[in-house]
């Protein structure tokens, strides 16, 4: 296939749809015979994923790699920031933890040149193996106060020799001003890299924006390469926690009600996407003790700051409500940080997640956790320990959890390397470190079995097949609304 320029989807702001568009374009390029790969120099997200070689990247790039039909790799996201408080984040470099930093420390650190070099070297390695590289920017490209410290937007596009397509979100209003301002605030050498605009999240009759397209092209001086309508019927895994605002927040009748406790530092909320689609289940997110009253099953999810989130649950009464629900016979499942919360004690003697502490857990599982600097990141296969469930998942956690000696509880699962995971106190009380465990039908059947009389509906499509179909649906949607001929012409031109 002809060599195409790398290209970057840059944004007029955050949450304009860059990640989803990159996912769809990865699938289109694959369908059209190319060998694409995603790349985002720096990502900030609590939704991450374990690569096949046991390292960590942002979930968005893992999804994009899946759409491109290739295994994910840390070169696709060499710098990952995972917020663990309002002002600090864990830095993950090439898939491994590299300490905690405040925003000021991160942007003004003397090692900034090293991060830029790491990102450029990762891109160079990818570009030798794949064609083309589908790059994603971060936030707005017009944050001129951060321009000299930026390693992900226009400086990265310059290094890559990439064409830039500006993504503007029409739903939030001010689309002309945001597109024009984003272009005009660039330095001349960067402004010339912007080869087109994609107007995203359009609602209504597209014919009403035809004159708008012409006006935008005249004002901005670059072509509009598509107006993409907002969609509701295509499900692509999101990494931005802002998506949680659109999720259900209360129980309903006729199905098994599953409440996910909405933690302040909730991580890997894509753990629940598959369960949310199960016809037997109504899944919702609860942020108050009253919100748990109608639940049949309560899930304590992952957290980037387990002790802080547990303390917050105690302050707002949810910790007491979870314990009460357990005593009333409801099911309680903890995943990763939620599993740690369910134990007898959590200790963080070195302050890995924030401040040094030793906290009593909820006392629902006979386990104790010590948080340490070593991070476990791996993909695994599992089998239920004494019950019929099997499948795959992945671990991303900084902590070691041990079962109290002499307890009648058992591990939840046996892993493919012979080790054990989690804790099963009884049929309705369990915890695990396995993200993705709810993507496995046999485990979901085990979880829902006590409530089988509530509904006869079933999920008919496997998770992997469902995701593949969504990528194809997204690609078809973009083919209808993007000027792909124009995009290919830009990417194949002699100009760099």
Q: How do the pLDDT tens digits run along the chain, 496 residues long?
A: 789 999 999 999 999 999 999 999 999 999 999 999 999 999 999 899 999 999 999 999 999 999 999 999 999 999 999 988 777 889 999 999 988 888 777 776 667 888 999 999 999 999 999 999 999 999 999 999 988 889 999 999 999 999 999 999 999 889 999 999 999 999 999 999 999 999 999 999 999 999 999 999 999 999 999 999 999 889 998 766 556 666 777 888 889 999 999 999 999 999 999 999 999 999 999 999 999 999 999 999 999 899 999 999 999 999 999 999 999 999 999 999 999 999 999 999 988 887 888 999 999 999 999 999 899 999 999 999 988 999 999 999 999 999 998 888 899 999 999 999 999 999 999 999 999 999 999 999 999 999 988 766 666 678 889 999 999 999 999 999 999 999 999 999 987 5
Second-level CATH architecture of 7-236+468-492: 3-Layer(aba) Sandwich (3.40)
The alpha carbon of residue 403 and the mean position of all alpha carbons in its chain are separated, in whole angstroms, by: 30
Q: Where are the domains of the chain?
A: 7-236+468-492, 255-451
Cα 239 from Cα 48, distance rounded (Å): 8
Cα 18 from Cα 486, distance rounded (Å): 19
The 3-class SS string of 392-417 reads EEEEEECCEEEECCCCCCECCEEECC
Q: What are residue 183's phi and psi, to 5 degrees?
A: -80, -45
Reference 167, options 52, 14, 55, 332; nearest CA is 14
The domains spanning 7-236+468-492 and 255-451 adopt the same CATH topology: yes
CATH number, domain 255-451: 3.40.50.880
Measured CA distances, 301 to 28, 231, 333, 436 (Å)? 34, 28, 8, 11
Please give the pLDDT value at position 216: 97
Helices (H), 57-202: 59-68, 103-108, 112-129, 154-160, 175-184, 188-191
**What DSSP line would sit under 322-386, residue for residue?**
HHHHHHTT-EEEEETHHHHHTSSEEEETT-TTSS-EEEE--SSSSEEEE--S--EEEEEEEEESS
User: How buried is 264 (Cβ within 10 angstroms: 0-12 exposed, 13-18 middle, 19+ buried)?
Assistant: middle
State the pTM of this model. Answer: 0.90
Please give the pLDDT value at position 242: 58
Please give the pLDDT value at position 460: 60
Cα 224 from Cα 165, distance rounded (Å): 9
Please give the pLDDT value at position 309: 95
Q: Which two tokens mark 250?
A: 């209360």
Q: What are residue 253's phi and psi, to 5 degrees?
A: -90, 160
Would you name the residues annotated as active-site residues? 336, 435
């Amino acid at each position: 296939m002809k060599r195409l320029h790398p290209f970057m989807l840059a944004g007029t702001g955050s949450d304009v749809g860059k990640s989803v568009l990159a996912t769809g374009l990865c699938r289109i390029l694959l369908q059209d015979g190319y060998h694409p790969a995603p790349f985002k120099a720096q990502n900030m997200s609590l939704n991450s994923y374990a690569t096949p070689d046991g390292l960590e990247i942002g979930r968005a790039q893992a999804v994009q790699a899946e759409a491109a039909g290739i295994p994910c790799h840390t070169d696709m996201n060499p710098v990952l920031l995972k917020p663990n408080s309002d002002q600090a984040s864990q830095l993950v470099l090439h898939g491994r933890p590299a300490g905690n930093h405040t925003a000021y420390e991160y942007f003004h650190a003397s090692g900034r040149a090293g991060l830029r070099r790491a990102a450029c070297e990762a891109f160079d390695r990818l570009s030798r193996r794949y064609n083309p590289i589908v790059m994603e920017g971060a936030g707005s490209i017009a944050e001129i106060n951060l321009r000299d410290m930026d390693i992900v937007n226009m400086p990265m596009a310059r290094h890559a020799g990439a064409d830039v397509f500006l993504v503007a979100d029409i739903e939030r209003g001010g689309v002309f001003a945001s597109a024009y301002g984003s272009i005009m605030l660039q330095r001349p050498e960067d402004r010339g890299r912007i080869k087109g605009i994609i107007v995203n999240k359009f609602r209504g009759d597209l014919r009403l924006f035809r004159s708008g397209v012409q006006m935008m092209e005249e004002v901005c001086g670059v072509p509009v390469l598509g107006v993409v309508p907002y969609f509701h019927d295509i499900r692509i895994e999101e990494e931005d926690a802002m998506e949680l605002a659109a999720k259900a927040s209360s129980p309903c009748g006729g199905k098994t009600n599953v409440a996910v406790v909405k933690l302040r530092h909730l991580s890997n909320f894509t753990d629940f996407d598959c369960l949310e689609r199960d016809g037997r289940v109504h899944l919702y997110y609860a942020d108050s003790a009253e919100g748990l009253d109608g639940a049949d099953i309560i899930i304590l999810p992952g957290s980037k700051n387990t002790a802080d989130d547990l303390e917050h649950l105690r302050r707002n009464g949810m910790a007491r409500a979870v314990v009460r629900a357990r005593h009333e016979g409801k099911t309680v499942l903890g995943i990763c940080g939620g599993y740690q919360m369910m134990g007898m004690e959590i200790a963080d003697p070195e302050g890995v997640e924030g401040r040094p502490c030793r906290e009593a857990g909820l006392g629902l599982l006979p386990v104790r956790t010590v948080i340490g600097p070593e991070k476990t990141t791996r993909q695994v296969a599992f089998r239920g320990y004494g019950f019929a469930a099997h499948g795959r998942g992945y671990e991303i956690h900084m902590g070691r959890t041990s079962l109290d000696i002499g307890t009648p509880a058992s591990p939840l699962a046996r892993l493919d390397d012979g080790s054990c995971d989690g804790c099963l106190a009884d049929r309705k009380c369990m915890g695990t470190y396995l993200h993705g465990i709810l993507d496995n039908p046999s485990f979901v059947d085990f979880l829902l079995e006590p409530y089988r009389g509530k509904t006869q509906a079933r999920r008919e499509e496997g998770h992997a097949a469902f995701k593949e179909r969504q990528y194809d649906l997204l690609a078809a949607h973009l083919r209808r609304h993007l000027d792909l001929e124009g995009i290919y012409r830009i990417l194949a031109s002699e100009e760099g």
